[in-house]
Amino acid sequence: MRKERWQQIQQELAQEYEYVKDIQMVLNGFRSDSHLERIPTSRISYEDDASLDPEAWFTPRDPEVWPAPNPVEHKPGPSIRQVNRSRRTETSRTTTNRSSSSGKGSGGNSTLKRGADTKSSRKEDNKPRNKDAKKEEPTSKEKQEPEEKKFDSTGYDHDLVDMLERDILQKNPNVRWDDIADLQEAKKLLEEAVVLPMWMPDFFKGIRRPWKGVLMVGPPGTGKTMLAKAVATECSTTFFNISSSTLTSKYRGESEKLVRLLFEMARFHAPSTIFIDEIDSLCSRRGSDSEHEASRRVKSELLIQMDGITNNEDPAKVVMVLAATNFPWDIDEALRRRLEKRIYIPLPNSSGREALLKINLKDVEVCPELDVNDIAERLDGYSGADITNVCRDASMMAMRRRIHGLTPEEIRNLTKEELELPVSREDFEEAIRKINKSVSREDLEKYEKWMSEFGST
């Protein structure tokens, strides 16, 4: 039994070897130019003569699956001129045959037909050229369209320029005054300090020059960042959103380069607005024992650049610096002097809280019996961010009650109508019990004391 199986395996190996030899001969024929003359005479058999015995350990190679061919070095084909000449000779032969056949029947009219043929051929040759010319016209118009201004980074590190354009530059903040509830006094002061000089550049000259910078002071969550974006939107200016992490680097001297590059880009994209959030972390009071030399150099460069932003007399090239802080008492005195307008952004009053509730609930279905005025009175002492959190939590109460005790499969099968239930008074009461105010009375007294001493409204 073993001897017969061994003989059978030897036969299969010999047959497979013949297959491989035939395939190699065909591949060798493909590599040569005259492969048609070298087709192997032996016929390749694709019939599978392998044993069907399941105990046979050898599995024959699939003849229908060929291995990948070796890369072939293609020779250069005939030149284009030779092909064109051959085509011309063929077309000339066909035209002469047609003319001779037509000349036998029509005589002297053959010359007229030849002329007509040549004219028609010329017209046909001109048609695609005209189409190509028409197609090229919109491309030339597209080239004439004004391209977006690109900052020239010669003399600066390209990586720093790309980082500022990617992480800081915002050209469309898209925040309007109506998106901010209350804060009418702050809006009026910001409009006079920032927006009006852009609208009336001829008036704000000499002693009426625009302010160098504006500092917004107030507890967290009162809308200082939203106000800065609204100022940039109303002025249609380029918006630079700065934080302390974007202007600090581990390499010596690179932070000062970033500050200088920032103001150069702001002048290039002018009119522009530079908003520095949490400026107390970037420009804290100098002279302390914990101050590092690198941070002092960054502060000095920032102060120098802020002094230089008003050197340009062109009213269209205005660069406004807006800053926001929660700790105004930690800001350096020189920076405080350069931020000439210092505005207090307080907590929202009763009308502001009511307006903020309506803004947050405009996309949510509310029960008709819900009294927004009563909810606004209960949110006394809450900041704008706290009120937004209360509205978000209250709008999710109905969903939490609906999915309570359900399996994941049952939750997936719920319809949109079953989840989007109206927000009720009980939802707001539960949300208010869970979310407390984030600003204490002692903090408000510190802000009011600082504004009474250093405020400039």
Buried b (16+ CB within 10 A) or exposed e, 249-266: beeeeebbbbbbbbbbbb
Q: How far apart are CA 215 and CA 347, in angstroms?
A: 17
pLDDT, tens digit (0-9, with 9 covering 90-100), for 356-400: 999 899 888 888 888 889 999 999 999 999 999 999 999 999 899
> Which residue stretches of 48-157 are H helix?
80-106, 109-144
Contacts of 248 (CB under 8 A, 6+ apart): 255, 298
Pairing of strands 272-277, 238-242: parallel
> For the structural domain made of 158-344, what CATH number should be given?
3.40.50.300
Range 270-287 average pLDDT: 81
- 287 known ligand binder: no
Identify the bridge partners of residue 341 per DSSP, sorted by sequence position: 214
Residue 382 tokens, joined? 């809450």
Nearest to 428 by CA among 401, 398, 383, 403: 398
- 222 known ligand binder: yes
Q: How far apart are CA 131 and CA 133, in angstroms?
A: 5
How many other CB atoms are there within 10 angstroms of residue 405's CB atom?
7
- 115 known ligand binder: no
How many other CB atoms are there within 10 angstroms of residue 38's CB atom?
13
Range 410-439 average pLDDT: 89
- 221 known ligand binder: yes
- 219 known ligand binder: yes
Reported as a pLDDT band with limits 50, 70 and 90, residue 25 is confident
Predicted confidence (pLDDT) at residue 54 exceeds the cutoff of 60: no
Q: Delimit the CATH 1.10.8.60 region(s) of the chain.
A: 350-438
How many other CB atoms are there within 10 angstroms of residue 110's CB atom?
17
- 220 known ligand binder: yes
Residue 284 tokens, joined? 């804290």
Phi, psi dihedrals of residue 36, rounded to the nearest 5° = -70, -30
CATH of 350-438, one of 1.10.357.10, 1.10.8.60, 2.40.50.100, 3.40.50.300: 1.10.8.60
pTM over 0.85: no
Predicted confidence (pLDDT) at residue 303 exceeds the cutoff of 70: yes
Predicted confidence (pLDDT) at residue 130 exceeds the cutoff of 50: no
Reported as a pLDDT band with limits 50, 70 and 90, residue 203 is confident
- 225 known ligand binder: yes
pLDDT on residue 238: 79
Q: How far apart are CA 58 and CA 55, in angstroms?
A: 9
Q: How far apart are CA 157 and CA 258, in angstroms?
A: 10
pLDDT, tens digit (0-9, with 9 covering 90-100), for 156-169: 777 777 777 776 66
pLDDT, tens digit (0-9, with 9 covering 90-100), for 72-127: 665 555 544 444 555 455 555 555 555 444 444 444 444 434 444 544 444 444 44
Q: Delimit the CATH 3.40.50.300 region(s) of the chain.
A: 158-344
User: Which carries the bigger pLDDT value, residue 130 or residue 399?
Assistant: 399
Are 181 and 384 a contacting pair, CB within 8 Å?
A: yes
